[in-house]
């Protein structure tokens, strides 16, 4: 009886079980956090949004955004908050490390998806990658370097450093959202130290050509103006702007998810 009790205590205190919205999930020397949708009890797999914080942010900070948590839960989705190794993401071309290839982050995100889908009832084919500011930048890097890791991408107010890469892997579905008056990550880019943030329009032009995206349809939705395109493979490329600066709303992600769902991606 004593053995059974000790085993139960050990089992219930396992780091794998403790991992969640308020406790780190450990993978090597990196961590992430997960909030599963409320009311989930039968083990049914759900979709998920992976969200990358901005400069000097944290997974803890993301999980404290109760509006974002509630939005994901109400949509029946898990929220996976990832964490950079330091103050910022390892992004090629950034002034913090201009020699970086971003390989460390690519490996980290692959490990997060493998670990989260093993620990939790998350469908690996229904995961959208998103992030704000620097998190939006790493989202674009993932779209270019690891497009098959996610069902779609929703970068918010962030793009490549330096400019669009010479080439990307097979095209994916992307809904890019940005404020027209953003001065932190301006649509036209800006110089910071020895490098420069990329021009969003140049990036979209590159991706449009690489993915074979066709005619544009412009719609007004959720306070945004969105230019929609698709390609022969059914991928979506959408550029949405809102009147405002460097800001984030959970509604951006709910819109991006619904747009990708309508296209049959998630």
Beta-bridged to residue 218, according to DSSP, are 227
Q: What is the CATH number of domain 2-262?
A: 3.40.50.1820
What does the DSSP 8-state code read for residue 21?
S
- Residue found by looking up tokens 């939790």 in the block: 120
pLDDT in tens, 132-157: 999 999 999 999 999 999 999 999 99
Q: What pLDDT is attached to residue 18? A: 75
pLDDT digits (tens, 9 = 90+) for 246-263: 999 999 999 999 999 999
In Å, what is the CA distance from 14 to each residue of 2, 19, 119, 180?
Answer: 19, 9, 12, 47
| Beta strands in the chain, from DSSP E residues, in sequence order | 25-27, 30-35, 46-52, 78-82, 122-132, 152-156, 174-179, 191-192, 195-196, 217-221, 224-230, 236-242
Q: Are 49 and 56 in contact (CB under 8 A)?
A: no
CA distances from 239 to 162, 173, 215, 226 (A): 20, 11, 13, 5
Quick check: pTM over 0.95? no
pLDDT in tens, the chain (266 residues): 333 334 333 333 344 457 999 999 999 999 999 999 998 877 789 999 999 999 999 999 999 999 999 999 999 999 999 999 988 898 876 655 556 677 899 999 999 999 999 999 999 999 999 999 999 999 999 999 999 999 999 999 999 987 788 888 878 999 999 999 999 999 999 988 787 888 999 999 999 999 999 999 999 999 999 999 999 999 999 999 999 999 999 999 999 999 999 999 99
Please state, in angstroms and rounded to a whole number, the distance separating the CA atoms of residues 116 and 156. 23
Q: Give every CB contact of residue 245 below 8 A, 6+ residues apart in sequence.
A: 179, 181, 182, 183, 184
């Amino acid at each position: 009886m004593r053995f059974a009790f000790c085993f139960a205590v050990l089992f219930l205190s396992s780091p794998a079980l403790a991992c969640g919205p308020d406790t780190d999930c450990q993978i090597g020397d990196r961590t992430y956090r997960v909030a599963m949708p409320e009311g989930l009890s039968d083990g049914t797999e759900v979709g998920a949004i992976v969200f990358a914080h901005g400069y000097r942010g944290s997974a803890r900070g993301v999980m404290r955004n109760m509006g974002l948590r509630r939005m994901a839960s109400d949509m029946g989705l898990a929220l996976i908050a990832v964490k950079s190794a330091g103050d910022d993401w390892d992004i090629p071309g950034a002034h913090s490390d201009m020699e970086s290839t971003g390989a460390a982050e690519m490996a980290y995100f692959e490990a997060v998806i493998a670990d989260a889908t093993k620990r939790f009832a998350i469908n690996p084919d229904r995961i959208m990658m998103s992030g704000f500011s620097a998190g939006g930048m790493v989202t674009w890097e993932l779209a270019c370097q690891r497009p098959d890791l996610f069902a779609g991408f929703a970068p918010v107010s962030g793009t490549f450093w330096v400019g669009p890469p010479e080439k990307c892997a097979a095209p994916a579905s992307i809904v890019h959202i940005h404020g027209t008056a953003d001065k932190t990550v301006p649509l036209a880019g800006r110089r910071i130290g020895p490098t420069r943030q990329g021009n969003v329009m140049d990036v979209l032009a590159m991706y449009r050509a690489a993915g074979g995206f066709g005619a544009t349809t412009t719609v007004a939705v959720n306070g945004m103006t969105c230019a929609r395109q698709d390609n022969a493979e059914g991928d979506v490329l959408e550029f949405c702007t809102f009147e405002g600066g460097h800001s984030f709303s959970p509604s951006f992600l709910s819109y991006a998810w619904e747009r990708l769902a309508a296209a049959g991606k998630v």
